[in-house]
Amino acid sequence: MESYTPKNILITGAAGFIASHVTNRLMRNHPGYKIVVLDKLDYCSNLNNLLPSRSSPNFKFVKGDIGSADLVNHLLVTESIDTIMHFAAQTHVDNSFGNSFEFTKNNIYGTHVLLEACKVAAGQIKRFIHVSTDEVYGETEEDAVVGNHEASQLLPTNPYSATKAGAEMLVMAYGRSYGLPVITTRGNNVYGPNQFPEKLIPKFILLAMKGLTLPIHGDGSNVRSYLYCEDVAEAFEVVLHRGEVGHVYNIGTKKERRVIDVARDICGLFNLDPETKIKFVENRPFNDQRYYLDDQKLKNLGWSERMTWEDGLRKTVDWYTKNPDWWGDVSGALVPHPRMLMMPGRVEQPLKSSESNGFPEKPNPEHMVVPHLKTSNSLVQKHTPYKFLIYGRTGWIGGLLGKLCEKDGIAYEYGRGRLEDRTQLLADLRSVKPTHVFNAAGITGRPNIDWCESHKTETIRANVAGVLTLADVCREHGLLLVNFATGCIFEYDAAHPQGSGIGFKEEDIPNFTGSFYSKTKAMVEELLKEYDNVCNLRIRMPISSDLKNPRNFIGKISRYDKVVNIPNSMTILD
């Protein structure tokens, strides 16, 4: 069988448990691979899991959601991705009984976004490895001596496994309909260092460390197969290089253990009496009795399990004993039914502050958003709460900014001066004494931008000279200026063909000159690059739930006689 060698790999969910071990192994064994990791840093993710990889020049971390089509398309193009290993998912079964819609959103919709991006990339992706679970098979009969093979029927029994089965159907369909080079894996339970303690083994270890009781769902007779994390990481390494496109591979073990026996083994390592430290609690709405896999197909590729249960559990206990605070406060996860952790992003783990234990704590000046400004001769109030000075009171954006300030209890005032009049702007600063300045003022034309074609002087005065004057006054007094700009400065070109999903980035040079309005907005953006105190926010075709507002694009387009059939981005203002 011909071996596959990737060049640029995108790994989703890489700050999670299994994916972080896979990422670190690939970086260690194949330092020439470029690996881009994408993770939204949900409660069960931790950037510290990726510490072994962060020093590599071929490693890149991107915080983001697989549900963002724009972000996924952008990464595939700009990073020249040829391989995707898709781990990102909501995985805790208990949580799926409490908020199954979140599982559908992450596990099915997120997978669909990735597949669609691969389709749009038109042959760029050479491997798409989809990570599924043994739970899609449903229960294995207690007396079965042969495990589920890859062609077995899928009979999921809980919301989590149902979403994973649904995602698998999409993967299979895209493989057949569009020829995507897909491979699917279905794995047994995994344990080892770095795992968030909502899962059984790390939860039991942390409870045992505290001398607390270990809660067991039901009577503890449920049987599970446990694989050590490094064995699983090696399995993915094998599938990546030797797996056959269009195939499914079980990642399993024949070594099964009852949940009650796992609890007893952990009690034994802490010299605890299992008779007093094990507590039986209410079972899940449905708890499969057994999952048993036939892993011969993967073994035929050259993989085999290396770690014994005894050694793996001892290594895991040793790691948690040495790293008790790896996850911070996890008391909410240690209860018998921790469904409250389903809130997305509830616990986002920061990097450790020291250079030796985390990513560098010094900010990269090239990526600073808010500059460090001199405040001598400043009119800004010092050591006071925020106070915003907003220009563009009569505009839609400016009016909404005021409402947001009122809602959040932020002091604000609207500017009275004209942007092109420096004296009036200085008077506003003296009167308001703001901490920040927002500019939503400018000329867009009435009733539309065609007005600007016959009023070029007025348009330049407001959109170029006025904005530059405000930026200069703000810099002189140590103030950050947030300037609301427009995305109407681009048009599709050879590098961004229509329908490709390739969007324009912040650093791209404006290329649309079809209106004088757009020319002035592109011109002022270029000139504002000389001001390190300005943050430009581009807006395109703003829409909101305020359907009565005449400037809402939803209302505007409903009144058009004709509509141009060209895809455009939109900005949601709610």
Closest residue by Cα to residue 391 from 422, 426, 416, 424: 416
Closest residue by Cα to residue 326 from 197, 205, 218: 197
Question: Residues 134, 116: contact at Cβ < 8 Å?
Answer: no
Q: How far are the Cα atoms of 485, 540, 543, 550 from residue 556, in angstroms, in the given order?
A: 20, 14, 10, 7
Question: Residues 83, 240: contact at Cβ < 8 Å?
Answer: yes
Question: Residues 238, 27: contact at Cβ < 8 Å?
Answer: no
Cβ burial 42-58 (10 Å sphere, 16+ → b, else e): bbbbbbbbbbebbeeee
* Rounded CA separation 380/424 (Å): 16
Is there a catalytic annotation at residue 160? Answer: yes
Closest residue by Cα to residue 25 from 196, 237, 304: 237
Residue among 42, 134, 265, 288 flagged as catalytic: 134
What does residue 94 show for φ and ψ, rounded to 5 degrees?
A: -55, -45
Write 548-555 long-range contacts (CB < 8 A, 24+). 549/396, 551/396, 552/396
Residue among 4, 43, 160, 292 flagged as catalytic: 160
User: What H or E segment, with its residue span, contains residue 273?
Assistant: none
User: What H or E segment, with its residue span, contains residue 315?
Assistant: helix 309-322
Integer distance in angstroms from the first to the last C-alpha of the chain? 54
* CB burial of residue 393 (10 Å; 0-12, 13-18, 19+): middle
**3-class DSSP assignment, residue 195:** coil
Is there a catalytic annotation at residue 135? Answer: yes
Looking at the chain, the number of H-run helices and the number of E-run strands are: 18, 19
Residue among 82, 135, 234, 428 flagged as catalytic: 135
* CB burial of residue 451 (10 Å; 0-12, 13-18, 19+): middle
Catalytic residue list? 134-135, 160
